Structure 1
């Protein structure tokens, strides 16, 4: 995998991380928009090798309540790299190597020192002294809202996020809700100017319901008309948003974590406030905090599963009723492990951590979102300190095992887990020099880019490589079977000088964004889940102005949300006043087709 693009000159300096009393590190600044037409810049040199490195061993004995069948092997046997990264590979098994902190952060977060144990109770309470939470960049998907219900025989009260959602079980050939327009040519619908701020401020969070497009601003959430951009309502907050969930309930309710006040420049007031927002009505339903003694607890992430809001962090997790804010559970002084974070959507999954250092162990638990009772549990090998929830249904978890991705992406291995039994179904090796997914398992447990789940398959973007033309570069989306771990043989090509990124599922189909060459506009395509045929749903104008916006708000730096013929690109932070920028910037840029 490639490293994140180098920061531009106007990026704020990295702040001390992981418990430092200084302000939180800020997300990287997107590159300045490029000037209009002209020859494209010299493409980067080809990435080293596209073959799989050494193959992993056969499955190891399980660690969960449901024991895994014993298997031989422990380390990776030496194997020559494959010449073809898209060749079908055999299923692979969990690798007991430790992961190092990644995703561009300066180290692991400061955590309490819990005693060994694997009980369900959330984290041990510790007095927080100068607690500071790192505000991480939300990249990729954006958030999509639908009135549809999920599968599995139970009503799905929460939509799936575009970066980690699960689609229907169909084999393709239609079945999605997105309509193919008579003409995919899009026009600019509206732009929201970048708000001013005293300091670089997180503006992560965007949602689309049948009535409103909502976007986080500076210490507020604002609702806009989805077509015209007219402001419909404003929900003020006491301080800047820290984290926003990638889910909303079917009745248009979501949640955010935010600071209790506007902090002094270069510092944080702590991410202690949890609020539920009714997006259709444009009102805040409630605000809650959890205290350790007299000190409010900081949270690193927030999600929604059915009618539960769940928040996690290094001091433990808590949950609230989405409608009323009533506490469902919270950390207890007797806890010996802590819930580092949660994945939401159709189901609720906790990433629970027990122990410290090389002996730390992660427990991936599917839990009842009302009672917190453990439904199933998979215990990862000791020494893997962080994991990300790619999907909760089916359950898919990613980790950077032994820092083998080599680029801090948090994504070297994928674990497919049975929600009902907690058994490992298969493990898939996703080498960093072949695949372009990124996850932030350190803080935001369910923030991943370049990977989606549906049809019991993993859809994964490859790294860029040489295309068919001189100096051209391109990539693909490939599919893995989550039951066997093998590639299915399906591949969606971006095309020369395009880069394709999966955004979310649409029933059995994959919705993807295609970043274009300098003389074209960005595209949204639907990839049939069976044939993998690409159908163009939207194509932006190939103008200098639009390309500048697309460059500044690409999936690598911004939230990308597409639904019902509308594409919304939005920034995840606002610049400090006086920041040097080379052209006009937008908080939101919206595009749409004629139908």
Structure 2
């Protein structure tokens, strides 16, 4: 799926990471917290987006609050294998970006196709298949309340042409039916590749950025709302969506690149406030838009600090994660930037009051494999720790209301793996689902750097991001989903 243009960009990114790897974090907490802000909005300090709780509109981004199942005993509801795959010795795997679920359908992107599977015990029945014009280039984890999402596609073009590797097509579709709702060609996207294209969703809007340009569409009909392809000293590197829309701006050229984070009006693209990140930062990620949190690599290629802002874009706290914690920002696909990385920090979750970050694994047999630390978002101080167990690492997944969903992996044949909820205020842990994954696939499926782990409406789904054939059958398990044996279907 990759042309020379995309591969060259990938190679440059890898070389850059190698050069920076091992460099001392010379720019530490003092420098990181020295960023400034420019207020252009009169919105209240900490009023959550949308004000008081009301019924969510269909085009809002869902934030599902999970109910504890009748029984935590898990049963298989999805067991999907993909056929016709390259051999494991083939250096080019089949990429499978994008994993989503609703109450009825589990959906998986695989190469140039999205398949929808019925969520039913002991079945592997396709509900629908959506064939795309080319390979998927970017996906978003965000899904609307009524079950819609989007992908960016690299349309099939003749090899050797200048446009062969360009990712310039947006497809908006319904997860429950597999119906393509609209499809649009991105304007002036000649330099949009699988290595630099980022896609997100916010209420009523689909937004895409690729460094040299950006564009936003109305979810309702695909009408273009605005685009940012004009010449500027700063470029739209990516967006973070959800309840609000943040833009990550990179300004100037390497090695003197600086960064800004802007809150945008999603309907107009107008800037409401700007936070200027201090100099000396190598990379920035946006793991949360509301409340706004930045993950920055200061003087290193890996994330060293988390910066929390209030809802006016003013600095609240800087949390040092260098050395002890592993937020896993940009770790997918060896940091090559494939399929969008600005929002993806698989070792951390942001709640309304706390920021949860997984520690690095200890490797000590008689000690917890790792732990999750809850930091106060306003002060940056530690609040409470959730310990893993010996040989049982824990991964923060997402918020469910004011509780954190945690995956705890077990290597034991007797003790099951589990998804639990954790209340950092009371330190209360509640079992959600208990299950075993297939022994020969557990390592791949449980690794957040290699697989998507999605909890939605009482089920947990594990889905690989790369597929290669194992053995002579040219097929491999692509995804497995577990639901409660006591959950009514």
In the TM superposition, residue 61 of structure 1 has moved relative to its aligned partner by 4.9
The 3 A distance-change label for structure 1 pair 300 and 220 is: same
Aligned-partner SS, 2:8: coil
Aligned residue in 2 for 1:204: 97
Q: Please, which of 404, 409, 414 is the counterpart of residue 510 of structure 1?
A: 404
Aligned residue in 2 for 1:306: 203
Deviations 1:312-357 (A, max 9, x none): 1121211111121111122334433211000010110000122112
Please say if residues 32 and 277 of structure 2, whose CA atoms lie closer than 8 Å, have aligned partners that are also in contact: no
Aligned residue in 1 for 2:480: 589
Please say if residues 374 and 424 of structure 2, whose CA atoms lie closer than 8 Å, have aligned partners that are also in contact: no
In the aligned structure 1, how far is the partner of 2:277 from the partner of 2:387? Answer: 34
Once the two structures are superposed, the pairs formed by residues 292-371 of structure 1 within 5 Å of their partners are 292=188, 295=190, 297-298=192-193, 300-371=197-268
Tell me, which stretches of 5 or more residues in structure 1 are unaligned?
Answer: 1-13, 27-51, 68-148, 166-175
Deviations 1:17-63 (A, max 9, x none): 8762899999xxxxxxxxxxxxxxxxxxxxxxxxx999833886543
The 3 A distance-change label for structure 1 pair 427 and 269 is: same
Deviations 1:99-152 (A, max 9, x none): xxxxxxxxxxxxxxxxxxxxxxxxxxxxxxxxxxxxxxxxxxxxxxxxxx9753
Aligned residue in 2 for 1:553: 445
Aligned residue in 1 for 2:166: 270
The yes-or-no answer on 1:248 pairing with 2:138 is: no
Aligned residue in 2 for 1:236: 131
Aligned residue in 2 for 1:118: none
Aligned residue in 2 for 1:84: none
The yes-or-no answer on 1:427 pairing with 2:321 is: no
In the TM superposition, residue 473 of structure 1 has moved relative to its aligned partner by 5.0
Aligned residue in 2 for 1:378: 275
The yes-or-no answer on 1:288 pairing with 2:184 is: yes
The 3 A distance-change label for structure 1 pair 537 and 305 is: same
In the aligned structure 2, how far is the partner of 1:272 from the partner of 1:371? Answer: 21
Deviations 1:380-411 (A, max 9, x none): 113324211111110001011100xxxx5x32
Q: Please, which of 320, 341, 345 is the counterpart of residue 444 of structure 1?
A: 341
Q: Count matched residues.
A: 446
Q: Please, which of 187, 192, 209 is the counterpart of residue 75 of structure 2?
A: 187
Deviations 1:299-319 (A, max 9, x none): 611000111111111212111
Aligned-partner SS, 1:20: helix
In the aligned structure 2, how far is the partner of 1:201 from the partner of 1:340? Answer: 26
Please say if residues 33 and 317 of structure 2, whose CA atoms lie closer than 8 Å, have aligned partners that are also in contact: no
The yes-or-no answer on 1:494 pairing with 2:384 is: no
TM-score using structure 2 length? 0.82
The 3 A distance-change label for structure 1 pair 291 and 497 is: same
Task: Please identify which structure carries the higher strand content.
Answer: 2
Q: Please, which of 56, 63, 71 is the counterpart of residue 29 of structure 2?
A: 56
Aligned residue in 1 for 2:22: none
Report the RMSD for the aligned CA atoms in angstroms: 3.4
Please say if residues 357 and 383 of structure 1, whose CA atoms lie closer than 8 Å, have aligned partners that are also in contact: no
In the TM superposition, residue 529 of structure 1 has moved relative to its aligned partner by 3.5
Please say if residues 343 and 350 of structure 1, whose CA atoms lie closer than 8 Å, have aligned partners that are also in contact: yes
Tell me, which stretches of 5 or more residues in structure 2 are unaligned?
Answer: 15-24, 41-47, 87-91
Greater mean deviation of Cα atoms: 295-304 or 246-255: 295-304
Deviations 1:280-312 (A, max 9, x none): 23211122222439x474461100011111111
In the aligned structure 2, how far is the partner of 1:311 from the partner of 1:253? Answer: 16
Please say if residues 450 and 466 of structure 2, whose CA atoms lie closer than 8 Å, have aligned partners that are also in contact: no
Please say if residues 289 and 297 of structure 1, whose CA atoms lie closer than 8 Å, have aligned partners that are also in contact: no
TM-score using structure 1 length? 0.68
Aligned-partner SS, 2:143: coil
The 3 A distance-change label for structure 1 pair 184 and 61 is: closer
The yes-or-no answer on 1:573 pairing with 2:443 is: no
Aligned-partner SS, 1:498: coil
The 3 A distance-change label for structure 1 pair 465 and 255 is: same
In the TM superposition, residue 15 of structure 1 has moved relative to its aligned partner by 10
Q: Please, which of 2, 20, 23 is the counterpart of residue 8 of structure 2?
A: 20
Aligned-partner SS, 1:511: strand
Aligned-partner SS, 1:551: helix
Aligned residue in 1 for 2:17: none
In the TM superposition, residue 523 of structure 1 has moved relative to its aligned partner by 0.9
The 3 A distance-change label for structure 1 pair 53 and 485 is: farther
Q: Please, which of 411, 417, 428 is the counterpart of residue 303 of structure 2?
A: 411
Deviations 1:500-529 (A, max 9, x none): 000000000000111112424321111123
Aligned-partner SS, 2:155: coil
In the aligned structure 1, how far is the partner of 2:326 from the partner of 2:473? Answer: 29
Aligned-partner SS, 1:548: coil
Aligned-partner SS, 1:258: strand
Task: Please identify which structure carries the higher helix content.
Answer: 2
